[in-house]
Amino acid sequence: MKLETRLNFIPFIIYLLAGAGCGEQAQNKYADSRDGQTYPYVVLENGTKWMTQNMNYDVEDSVYGDGEKSHQAGRFYSWEGLKKACPPGWSVPNKLEWKYFIEQYGCCNGSGKTENVLITSENSGKVDFSKKSDGSYRTKGFWTSSQDEKDKAWSYTFVEDDQGFYWYAASRNPVNDGRPLARCRCVERAKADADRMPLVSPDEKDALKGIITDFRDGQIYPYKVMQDGKKWMTKNLNYEMPDAYCYDNNCAYGEELGRLYSWSAALKACPNGWHLPSDEEWITLAKSYGGGYRDFNTEQYIGDAALTFKALTEGGEEGFNPKYGGFRDVYNGNTEFKLIFQVASYWSSSPSMENQDQAWNFQFGNVTNFRRNDGSVSMGLSCRCVED
Predicted pLDDT at 194: 33
**For the residues 177-182, what does the mean pLDDT come to?**
84
SS3 assignment, position 288: coil
The predicted pLDDT at position 110 comes to: 41
pLDDT at 208: 60
Distant-in-sequence, close-in-space partners of 108: CB < 8 Å, separation ≥ 6:
7, 8, 10, 114, 115
118 near 25, Cβ under 8 Å?
yes
pLDDT at 345: 95
Pairing of strands 386-387, 274-275: antiparallel
Residue 318 pLDDT? 65
pTM: 0.59
From residue 19, give the alpha-carbon distance in Å to each of 26, 102, 156: 9, 16, 17
Q: Is 364 helix (H, G, I), strand (E, B) or coil?
A: strand
CB 165 within 8 A of CB 6: yes
Share of the chain above pLDDT 70, in %: 69
Q: Give the least confident one: 213-227, 239-253, 270-284.
A: 213-227
The phi, psi pair for 287, rounded to 5°, reads -70, -25
d(CA 211, CA 216): 15
* pLDDT (tens digit per residue) in 339-368: 988 899 999 999 987 667 899 999 998 778
The β-bridge relationship of strands 38-43 and 166-174 is unpaired
User: What are 193-202's pLDDT values in tens digits?
Assistant: 333 333 333 3
Cβ contact 298:310 at 8 Å: no
Of the CA atoms within 13 Å of residue 195, those in its CB half-sphere come to 0
Residue 144 — pLDDT band, cuts 50, 70, 90? confident
User: How many Å apart are CA 131 and CA 364, to the nearest integer?
Assistant: 48
CA atoms of 80 and 98, how far apart (whole Å)? 20
